[in-house]
């Protein structure tokens, strides 16, 4: 049938299968929740951290590989949206305004998922939250078999919720189990690799699978990739203090042995040394505004660049070539960001990447005669891509390092959700028939981006070379 399912009646086996998923997914989630243990209050003034001299071992490496896979899966789903839309519109016989509902509901789901799973990670633990989101991700892969477009909207909304939860929780967990000496560069490098890997995985799958099996295969691949992540879940550790407070002594001892963690008492604070709630709010506001600005630049400007370039007179082939040349700088950008973040300054690396984005926005406002010269246009787009890639590679690791254990998941989830909100707003604008130009988007985003860099410079603090214990005590 050429993998065409639109309009097919749903037979008994289809209804039974969907009912089994509706029953099985909650049961699997219930089974993944930690067993009840009497809470221990003996660890109130304790944290667990490896000595600074601890080397990375095979357990660290296994954890990094599995969590990188999780990040790739998280990034791959939103990146796949652009590849499925043309085939979906053709099969269902719907116009562009209707098919634009799919990225809207999917990105709305990822935004909600970032808030939801970050909150759950603080209550049930980091590892459990990753398992729960993966179970939901596997079960919603059925959206690739939906015969009606409306069912696709429902299932892809749920898939977005599941995929959106991976990003903040993984950053939070990595910050808590990596030795302090390696934490900064690992967070940035793994985050950036997951970002680039997700886009490569989405485009590679579209190149290999879509010509043979159609667009539905890009959704159905969520089933085996999610099962692979579940199979490797034994290499995902739990937060040590969470295990301690739940009285799971055997698991805690095993984790201490594998990761070289040691219990350490937090310094006693006097009232004068206590963290300022106002200062925390200022930092949260600065990070959230930065994430919002990034999301609008990424989804509102770079997403529409191909259309804008063609409107300027470039052919589709030349426009794609310009973007491809600029995108070649993505991986070197991540490596440079990891180096500066870990060796020079975490705070000023973030300010620097936002400032690069600001320079790119200023470049977009150059006279049309200058921007019509291809080398200048490539340079402006390259600066924008370097700035945005560097910002998102640094932003979430920096957030995870700045918050105490009890709120780290929620704070990282808030910033991660803010970084996806622009995608929702842009899709709403697209449904209204609004498509921003390069100059118009740059003009609108110039002042907010400058403000976000200033807010980080003012409210941010230095985390480079400092242990989480020291940062929490400050």
pLDDT tens digit sequence for 56-68: 888 989 998 998 8
What is the band of 252 on the pLDDT scale with cuts at 50, 70, 90? confident
**H or E, element range at 161:** helix 149-164
Q: Is the pLDDT of residue 305 over 70?
A: no
Q: Is the pLDDT of residue 313 over 70?
A: no
| Model confidence band, residue 354 (pLDDT cutoffs 50, 70, 90) | very high
pLDDT at residue 420 is higher than 70: yes
> Residues spanned by CATH 1.20.1250.20 within the chain?
57-259, 280-474
Pick the CATH number of 57-259 from 3.30.1490.190, 1.20.1250.20, 3.40.190.10, 2.60.120.260: 1.20.1250.20
User: Sorting pLDDT into bands at 50, 70 and 90, what band is 40?
Assistant: low
Most confident range, picked from 157-161, 243-247, 263-267, 285-289: 285-289
pTM over 0.85? The answer is no
Share of the chain above pLDDT 70, in %: 85
Residue 369 reports pLDDT greater than 80: no
The residue-averaged pLDDT of 73-98 equals 78
List the single range of 189-193, 213-217, 347-351 with lowest mean pLDDT.
Answer: 189-193
280-474 belongs to CATH 1.20.1250.20: yes
* Pick from 168-182, 244-258, 320-334, 391-405: least confident: 320-334
Is the predicted pLDDT of residue 348 greater than 90, yes or no?
yes
Q: Which residues pair with 262 in a beta bridge?
A: 49
When pLDDT is cut at 50, 70 and 90, the band that residue 433 belongs to is: low
Q: Determine which of 30-34, 68-72, 224-228 has the lowest per-residue pLDDT on average.
A: 30-34
Query: What letter does residue 474 receive in the DSSP assignment?
Result: -
Mean pLDDT of 26-45: 71
Give the mean pLDDT of the chain: 80
On the question of pLDDT at 38 being above 60, the answer is no
pLDDT value, residue 287? 94
CA separation (Å) from 6 to 91, 98, 142?
A: 6, 15, 14
Predicted confidence (pLDDT) at residue 84 exceeds the cutoff of 90? no
Give me 436's structure tokens. 């921003």
pLDDT greater at residue 278 or residue 195: 195
Q: How confident is the model at residue 247 (pLDDT cuts 50, 70, 90)?
A: confident
Q: Tokens 């560069």 map to which residue? A: 185
Helix axes 101-124, 126-139, angle to 10 degrees: 150
Cα angle 89, 91, 96 (rounded to 5 degrees) comes to 10
**Dist. CA 200–CA 5, nearest whole Å:** 28
How many angstroms separate the CA atoms of 301 and 427, rounded?
12
Which tokens in the block code for residue 353?
Answer: 């990447």
pLDDT for residue 448 is more than 60: yes
36/240: higher pLDDT: 240
Per-residue pLDDT band for 456 (boundaries 50, 70, 90) equals very high
């Amino acid at each position: 049938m050429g993998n065409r399912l639109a309009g097919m009646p749903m037979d008994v086996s289809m209804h039974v299968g969907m009912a089994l998923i509706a029953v099985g997914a909650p049961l699997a989630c219930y089974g993944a929740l930690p067993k009840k243990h009497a809470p221990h209050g003996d660890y109130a003034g304790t944290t667990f951290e490896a000595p600074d001299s601890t080397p990375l071992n095979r357990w660290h490496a296994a954890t990094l590989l599995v969590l990188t896979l999780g990040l790739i899966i998280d990034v791959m789903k939103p990146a796949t949206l652009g590849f499925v839309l043309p085939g979906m519109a053709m099969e269902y016989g719907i116009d562009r305004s209707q098919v634009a509902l799919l990225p809207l509901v999917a990105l709305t789901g990822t935004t909600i998922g970032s808030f939801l799973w970050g909150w759950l990670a603080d209550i049930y633990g980091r590892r459990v939250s990753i398992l729960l989101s993966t179970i939901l991700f596997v079960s919603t892969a059925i959206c690739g078999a939906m015969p009606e477009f409306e069912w696709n909207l429902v299932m892809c909304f749920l898939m977005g919720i599941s995929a959106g939860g991976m990003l903040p929780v993984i950053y939070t967990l990595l910050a808590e189990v990596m030795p302090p000496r390696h934490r900064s560069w690992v967070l940035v490098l793994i985050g950036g690799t997951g970002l680039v890997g997700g886009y490569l995985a989405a485009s590679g799958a579209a190149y290999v699978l879509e010509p043979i099996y159609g667009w539905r295969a890009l959704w159905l691949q969520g089933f085996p990739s999610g099962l692979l992540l579940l199979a490797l879940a034994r290499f995902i550790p739990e937060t040590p203090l969470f295990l301690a407070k739940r009285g799971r002594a055997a698991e805690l001892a095993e984790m201490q042995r594998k990761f070289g963690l040691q219990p350490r008492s937090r310094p006693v604070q006097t009232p004068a040394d206590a963290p300022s709630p106002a200062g925390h709010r200022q930092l949260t506001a600065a990070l959230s505004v930065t994430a919002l600005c990034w999301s609008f630049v990424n989804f509102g400007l770079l997403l529409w660049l191909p259309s804008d370039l063609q409107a300027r007179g470039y052919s589709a082939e030349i426009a794609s070539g310009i973007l491809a040349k600029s995108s070649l700088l993505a991986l070197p950008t991540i490596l440079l960001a990891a180096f500066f973040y870990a060796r020079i300054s975490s705070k000023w690396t973030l300010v620097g990447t936002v400032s690069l984005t600001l320079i790119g926005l200023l470049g977009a406002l150059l006279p049309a005669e200058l921007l019509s010269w291809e080398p200048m246009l490539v340079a402006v787009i390259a600066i924008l891509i370097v700035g945005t890639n560097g910002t998102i590679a640094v932003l979430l690791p920096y957030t995870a390092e700045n918050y105490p254990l009890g709120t780290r998941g929620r704070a990282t989830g808030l910033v991660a959700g803010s970084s996806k909100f622009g995608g929702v707003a842009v899709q709403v604008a697209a449904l209204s028939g609004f498509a921003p130009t390069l100059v118009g988007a740059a003009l609108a985003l110039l002042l907010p981006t400058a403000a976000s860099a200033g807010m980080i410079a003012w409210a941010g603090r230095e985390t480079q070379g400092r242990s989480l214990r020291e940062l929490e005590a400050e």
